[in-house]
Amino acid sequence: MEKMYAYEPSAPSLTEVFSKYFKVGAAINSWNLEKDSREYAVLTKQFDVFTLENESKPEPTHPEPDRWVFDRVDRFAAFGEETGKTLRGHTLVWHGQCPMWFFFDENKQLVTEEVLISRMKDHIRTVVGRYKGKIAVWDVVNEVIRDEGGMRESLWYKIAGTNYIKEAFRTAREADPSARLIINDYNLESSDAKADTMAAFVREMIEDGVPVDGIGLQMHLNLFDTDMDKLRRNVRKFTALREIKPDLMLEVTELDMSCYLWADESTDVEWTDELHEQFSAKYTELFRFYVELAEEGVLDSVVFWGLDDGHSWLNGFPRRHKNYPLLIGRDFELKKAFFNVTGIVK
């Protein structure tokens, strides 16, 4: 079969194919927004929701207490206004890519809960306020739960228990009452204990009147050890929360599917037809489940973590090896899996 490329006007578009079910998106970088580039053609054709892969995190935007760097996020916001695409803000509070000044005073001692929360509120008010009406969704907190269940013992948690999370949501709501506020995490489909903690914690927030609108499932999946029954079972723990909050939404926020197990030391795997078949079958099953969730009105969007295989972080993390985790290949060619996945919509 002749190759088809994601930027070609005649190629199928993920966003169009799934439009009656959910939005489809991708993580991008501000330098992908050059108008006459292939990247720009791909992203505008294929997707209708976008996340900045790194540039809106606290480390780049707020490197020092009195220094803010917004030029790249501004560019992203301008792109959203120009094109009418939906923008996601990622992320306000996280243990990763957060500058250390948040946690320490001038004597290098940990700050009190009061000081930490006031710094956090200042950060959230400034960032969410600046993009009010432009960034529609915020990953308010990211990865606050441990893989084994229980809350992650980050510096945030050590200083402020779970109060920082609740205050973060309240502050974001005040700063932009129309933004959708998400709690985002990984392995929610693969760790039963983590899913249980997430469901229990979101329940607690809802019961406390904390303004949480949805749960973000990162879904950094693996071709070999993703158990679909388990995935469905764990996701159902979250849809069950609609009994107490009927409008709670789910978003798939960072989808990809690595062809290396976590501990795999091998350099480049050979991307055989057989591997591609397995990959395609797993993605297809996954998207059938997404459609099922969308038909229940609970799934808002599915965002891939990267535009194409070549731009994926998985080529460098946790090790450097060539990876093939997305539906669009490194030449922007549509992979066989792309056609199988889009083929489920009749």
Active site residues: 143, 254
Pick 12 or 58: Cβ nearer ligand XIL: 58
By beta carbon distance, the residue nearest ligand XIL is 313
Taking CB under 6 A as the rule, does residue 60 contact ligand XIL?
Answer: no
Taking CB under 6 A as the rule, does residue 218 contact ligand XIL?
Answer: yes
DSSP string, 71-133: HHHHHHHHHHHHH--EEEEEEEE-SSS--GGGTB-TTSPBPPHHHHHHHHHHHHHHHHHHTTT
CB of 218 to ligand XIL, least distance (A): 6
3-state secondary structure of 257: strand
Residues 6+ apart with CB under 8 A from 49: 23, 24, 25, 85, 86, 87, 88, 301, 303
Among 142, 187, 190, 315, binds ligand XIL (CB under 6 A): 142
Among 39, 53, 167, 256, binds ligand XIL (CB under 6 A): 53
Pick 321 or 340: Cβ nearer ligand XIL: 321
Taking CB under 6 A as the rule, does residue 308 contact ligand XIL?
Answer: no
Q: Tell me how far CA of residue 65 lies from CA of 57, 69, 106, 107, 163, in angstroms.
A: 14, 11, 12, 15, 22
Tally of residues, the chain: 346
Taking CB under 6 A as the rule, does residue 222 contact ligand XIL?
Answer: no
Taking CB under 6 A as the rule, does residue 313 contact ligand XIL?
Answer: yes
Taking CB under 6 A as the rule, does residue 239 contact ligand XIL?
Answer: no
CB of 128 to ligand XIL, least distance (A): 18
Taking CB under 6 A as the rule, does residue 54 contact ligand XIL?
Answer: yes
Pick 48 or 254: Cβ nearer ligand XIL: 254
CB of 270 to ligand XIL, least distance (A): 25
Residue (of 212, 215, 68, 193) closest to 131 by Cα position: 68
User: What CA–CA distance (Å, rounded) separates 342 from 346?
Assistant: 9
Handedness of CA 250, 256, 258, 263 (dihedral sign): negative
**DSSP assignment, residue 306?**
S
Residue at 211: amino acid letter? P
Taking CB under 6 A as the rule, does residue 254 contact ligand XIL?
Answer: yes
Q: Which residues bind ligand XIL (CB under 6 A)?
A: 53-54, 142, 186, 218, 254, 313
